[in-house]
Amino acid sequence: MQITALAGGVGGARFLRGLLDHLGPTAGHPDPSDPQPSPARLTVIGNTGDDITLYGLRVCPDLDTLMYTLGGVIDEGQGWGRAGESRRLQDELVAYGAQPQWFTLGDLDLATHVVRSQWLGQGLPPSEVTARLAARWGLPDLGVRLLPMSDDPIETHVVVDEGDGPLAMHFQEWWVRLRAAVPAQRFVAVGMDRARPAPGVLEAIAEADVVLLPPSNPVVSIGVILGVPGLREALRATSAPVVGVSPVVNGAPVRGYADACLAALDLPATASAVAGLYADLLDGWLVDEADASAGPWPDQVQVRARPLLMRDRTAAAELAGATLDLARELAPRRPRS
Ligand code: GDP
Ligand code: CA
């Protein structure tokens, strides 16, 4: 079974680790002396709209959260960054007065950004750089192929108004420095109109048996991926059922500020509103038991109520299993026009 998933950072990564736990160890690499692993069983299309250049280094927070979580080196408590991290290098940068000082980068994590920036500087495309980084953490051996949504630079910016008229800032500044406390008027994906899907992205959607939308932020994670020209059309055209998991439980995001993102679209933080954003491509939708009667749901979408809180890996694996059950029920789907 070929599974393709769209994913942001922490919510997507925890769900997809549960999916791998549910699927069990890969039969994909029976002979460790054979450097060629079997083809991927899971292709992850990661959001790169959160990417940012800091201290001259290219940082890809969502791709790295996916890579560290699936590779088993994530800081569990935080949900992002490396376990066992220290902060000596950034303390030195701060002592020099280097900016910004609001984005935390640990020493081990910084090595990822140094190597990424070096490879990008040598002219390798981001998809190749991502594959090289992911290889170190064993993703190919797990049967996972991690793809950036695009090789073209796309950055999510946020337009706010603190009283002096509209002001655009990088998404990370709004999310991390301002903690989304200043209302967003709108989001702009800078570079999107000229962007193309990364190599392999459209094929992974067309050739999938199942497409999953994990409980990632519907606006700045999944919404940005869906904005890559051609991607939405591919999701409508595939014969794989598209099954999603609500990131909103009982009328609130489980973590983060998805409510503040939805408010910029004049939408309430409900499982129903999120489903509406995917209405043209969605076949199955998992909502929490607390939201079972909190429709309306889009036409043609089969809704199932399950416990959606990923309290631990077991709960995440059960949730992933429930998405596959629903996908099997709905396969093959008739492509959407
Ligand atoms: P980010 O890029 O790190 O913000 O992560 P994502 O975009 O992948 O995911 C953020 C979303 O995950 C938030 O909107 C959360 O509500 C959602 N989320 C986090 N933990 C859980 C959980 O246990 N269950 C569900 N259903 N959603 C979750
Ligand atoms: Ca993110």
pTM of this structure: 0.96
Beta bridge partners of 95: none
Instruction: Using a pLDDT cut of 90, give the percent of the chain over it.
Output: 93
pLDDT at residue 164 is higher than 70: yes
Q: Is 78 exposed, middle or buried (0-12, 13-18, 19+ CB in 10 A)?
A: middle
Give the tens place of pLDDT for each residue, 258-317: 999 999 999 999 999 999 999 999 999 999 999 999 999 999 999 999 999 999 999 999
Domains in the chain, CATH or no CATH each? 1-337 (3.40.50.10680)
What's the mean pLDDT in 108-129? 98
Q: Looking at the CA of 257, name the nearest ligand.
A: 1
State the pLDDT at residue 37.
63
pLDDT at residue 215 is higher than 60: yes
pLDDT at residue 202 is higher than 90: yes
Band of residue 25 on the pLDDT scale cut at 50, 70, 90: confident
- Across the chain, what does the average pLDDT equal? 95
What's the mean pLDDT in 127-155? 97
Structure tokens at 285: 């939708």
Nearest to 7, CA basis, from 55, 129, 15, 87: 15
Band of residue 27 on the pLDDT scale cut at 50, 70, 90: low
What's the mean pLDDT in 31-41? 68
State the pLDDT at residue 243.
98
Residue among 63, 217, 318 to mutate when testing ligand 1 (max atoms within 8 A of CB): 217
Q: Looking at the CA of 261, name the nearest ligand.
A: 1
Output the CA 257–ligand 1 centroid distance in Å. 10
Task: Show the ligand 1 pocket: residues with CB < 6 angstroms.
Answer: 7-12, 62, 65, 215-217, 221, 245-247, 249, 253-256, 258, 308-310
Nearest to 220, CA basis, from 27, 86, 82, 52: 52
What's the mean pLDDT in 104-117? 98
Q: Are strands 210-213 and 248-249 parallel, antiparallel or unpaired?
A: unpaired
